[in-house]
Homo-oligomer: A and B are copies of this chain.
């Protein structure tokens, strides 16, 4: 037999009967309607507490249209593999949501198209009252879709078309600025940059932060020291390799994210460069792998749990009617100093020579 439902649940009718009130009155009392006497309201609330009554969100939804649930569609990216943030991110959302009696409805998708379909399906079936959109793109089709569906969404990150949008975001651009300043302060004058895929909005912001950092330190921007589109360790390794083949290579490189930075360790090993002396590396994210690495990676740690909490809180406030303009928050990533950066032990010229020497050795071998 199918499972039978609702063992001994107390309904609003039970509560009304026990109090000798009409159920409409009970409902209004619980929902803070102004036309209920103060002492009646208190009486109702106390009775609800004692009898263990709480309304069924889906029963309320039939009239109110709100199910008290937040939607999150994760796009599973084969290329990026596992994400250590995920657990903490989900934890943050879940905590903030349940603190207010809300829940999290989660779905996954393998492609952007599938993600859009999934959002649409969840919206159509009204499984969520709004959506959290991680990994926002410069021009994000999810924002357009939800605007069309007239459903609120909060962005983890910013996007180009702000209209009616709100967000929580880490100030990655400030971190990049600080990273450059830090390296310049150590004596580096040629500082490279390895950026992420530019479909993502943060890639542009962080690149700008890097530029502003150079300006502020009185250094000039040299496109030869800059690469874009590195998301994985392999790509990070390749980018560093490429940058270091410049006749005047950088003595320090700032990475837009940690994964490529960690991958770049391999390049350094192959070239026989001592990280933190011959070449300085700074990442961004605070991946655990970075702290396990030797030397540990200097990076900017992002508190994903906090991000999840803030996002859930903002979205709930929006659904309840807050003005989007009041719902924009940012936070700064925290610098975690490791052993991967330090004053340059080699000049750019010496570094170039070392790299060339290694290359020649290889050619001999081959």
The segment from A27-35, A64-72, A236-244, A270-278 that touches chain B is A64-72
User: In the complex, A95 Cα to B76 Cα: how many Å?
Assistant: 12
Residues on B with beta carbons closer than 8 Å to the beta carbon of A62: 56, 58-59, 62
Most-contacted residue by chain B among A5, A7, A95, A320 (CB, 10 A):
A5
Say if the beta carbon of A24 comes within 8 Å of chain B. no
Closest Cβ neighbor of A322 among chain B residues:
B2
Residues on B with beta carbons closer than 8 Å to the beta carbon of A122: 103
A319 and B95 in contact, given A82-B82, A108-B90, A288-B81 (Cβ under 8 angstroms):
no
Say if the beta carbon of A20 comes within 8 Å of chain B. no
Give which listed residue, B74, B87, B94, B320, contacts A83 with CB less than 8 A: B87
Say if the beta carbon of A39 comes within 8 Å of chain B. no
Q: Are the C-beta atoms of B58 and A126 separated by less than 8 Å?
A: yes
Most-contacted residue by chain B among A2, A81, A86, A104 (CB, 10 A):
A2
The segment from A147-155, A198-206, A249-257, A353-361 that touches chain B is A147-155
User: In the complex, A87 Cα to B281 Cα: how many Å?
Assistant: 29
Q: Are the C-beta atoms of A87 and B107 separated by less than 8 Å?
A: no
User: In the complex, A250 Cα to B106 Cα: how many Å?
Assistant: 46
Residues of A within 8 Å of B, CB-based: how many?
61
User: In the complex, A208 Cα to B86 Cα: how many Å?
Assistant: 34
User: In the complex, A84 Cα to B84 Cα: how many Å?
Assistant: 7
Say if the beta carbon of A349 comes within 8 Å of chain B. no
Q: Are the C-beta atoms of A56 and B125 separated by less than 8 Å?
A: yes
By Cβ-Cβ distance, the 9 closest A-B pairs, closest first, are A5-B65, A58-B58, A82-B84, A2-B321, A94-B108, A91-B108, A106-B106, A58-B61, A94-B107
Question: Could you list some 21 contacts between A and B, CB below 8 A?
Answer: A2-B321, A3-B129, A3-B130, A3-B151, A5-B66, A6-B126, A7-B149, A9-B124, A58-B59, A58-B61, A58-B62, A58-B126, A59-B62, A74-B90, A81-B288, A82-B87, A86-B86, A94-B107, A94-B108, A95-B108, A98-B121
